[in-house]
Amino acid sequence: MDTVLRIRDLQRQIEESLASLPDLALPSELEGLRHLPMFGYKPRVTVYYAAESGRKRRKVRETASASYFDGGNCELTINFEPVEEPQDHGIRREPVGIAGETVGGSDQETAMDQLLEELAKAEARRPFVGLTWFRDRFLVAECGHEWAGNSETVRSLLDRAIKQQLIRTSRVPNPNSPLHPTTAIRLNRSHPRFRTDATAQMSRFNPVRIRGGSISDTVLDDRN
């Protein structure tokens, strides 16, 4: 078993740490890191050899030992890539499901509906719903759906819901650490997905003009 820390491992660890920033209670000196685009984006870290005059910058091999990373001889770049929905280009890609199984399109939408229902339950019980608490505690302890036991699936569902604006995020005071706000989530009830059938029917209602006078005039004439 390879126990040597590789450049690829170093890059992945930094990426995972950056992705965790929204859920951490950061000291005031690091609050500026919250401006990094976390929601809807994923960090990509690459280690390069330090640029030399007149020469193209070269990446350090990902299989090289992490000891090659030297602040004096290497450069580290961080890019934030949009989290995009998988598209078919002749190859069918399915989202990862429970224990490595695949989840079809209809099952994925069902899981999304269930996730939103669980968030509605949590909102009814608390003044605000913390993202970390909801993801790591509420869904694991109180949600009976199978997908809730797979952290990768839960993260994927939450990321997609936030990107599609089904769920809104905000910063709220943390009661356990007042100086360090926490990330809260809530349903975006103005999203078309939450419109009831009655609301949809009302939006399709168009008044029909009929011949004759107004109803008020007709009522007055009858009274006379």
Q: pLDDT for 131-144, tens place per residue?
A: 888 998 899 888 88
pLDDT of 13 over the 60 cut: yes
List the structure tokens of 152. Answer: 């990768």
The values of phi and psi at residue 141, to 5°, are -85, -30
Do residues 124 and 134 lie in contact, with contact meaning Cβ atoms separated by under 8 Å? no
pLDDT of 31 over the 50 cut: yes
Cα 184 from Cα 180, distance rounded (Å): 13
Cα 14 from Cα 23, distance rounded (Å): 15
Cα 43 from Cα 117, distance rounded (Å): 29
Residue range 26-45: mean pLDDT, rounded: 76
pLDDT of 85 over the 70 cut: no
pLDDT of 222 over the 60 cut: no
Cα 115 from Cα 164, distance rounded (Å): 14
Q: What is the pLDDT of residue 102?
A: 41
pLDDT of 171 over the 60 cut: yes
pLDDT of 217 over the 50 cut: yes
List the structure tokens of 104. Answer: 């079809």
pLDDT of 120 over the 90 cut: yes
pLDDT of 60 over the 80 cut: yes
Q: What is the pLDDT of residue 143?
A: 84
- How confident is residue 119, by pLDDT bands cut at 50, 70 and 90? very high
Please provide the average confidence, as pLDDT, over all residues in the chain: 75
pLDDT of 221 over the 60 cut: no
Give me the domains of the chain, ranges plus CATH numbers.
7-82 (no CATH), 98-203 (1.10.10)
pLDDT of 117 over the 90 cut: yes
pLDDT of 93 over the 60 cut: no
Contacts of 74 (CB under 8 A, 6+ apart): 47, 48, 49, 50, 60, 68
- pLDDT tens digits, residue range 196-212? 654 444 444 444 444 55
Percent of the chain with pLDDT over 90: 12
What single string gives the DSSP state of each residue in 4-67?
SPBHHHHHHHHHHHHHTGGGS---GGGGGGGGS--TTEEEEEEEEEPP-TTS---BPPTTSBGG
